[in-house]
Amino acid sequence: MFTEEVAKTISWKGANGAVRANGLCRTATDTDIQRYAIRWFNLAADRGAARRRLTNRSNQAEAND
């Protein structure tokens, strides 16, 4: 869960309507935007883990060279 401070800074629609300014999202409904934003947050932990795995592999490859 997010702290109240973090929750206040999150905008599903982007700063100053940035999501709507993106041509790909111009016709998206608020529900679509919210669904994809929630999915992005749900997958955040996996993105971090994947980065760590790649960094570890790179470091191991350099150590073996």
Q: What is the residue range of 15's domain?
A: 4-64
Task: Using the Cα atoms of residue 29, residue 15, residue 8 and residue 44 in order, give the sign of their dihedral.
Answer: positive
Give the ranges where the chain is alpha helix by DSSP (H): 4-9, 18-21, 30-42, 44-64
Task: Give the pLDDT band (50/70/90) at residue 54.
Answer: confident
Instruction: With a cut of 80, say whether residue 34 has pLDDT above it.
Output: yes
Instruction: With a cut of 80, say whether residue 45 has pLDDT above it.
Output: no
Of 40, 53, 48, the closest CA to residue 10 belongs to 40
Its pTM stands at 0.51
Tokens of 55: 């960094």
- The total of structural domains in the chain comes to 1
At 31 the pLDDT is: 92
Residues 6+ apart with CB under 8 A from 40: none
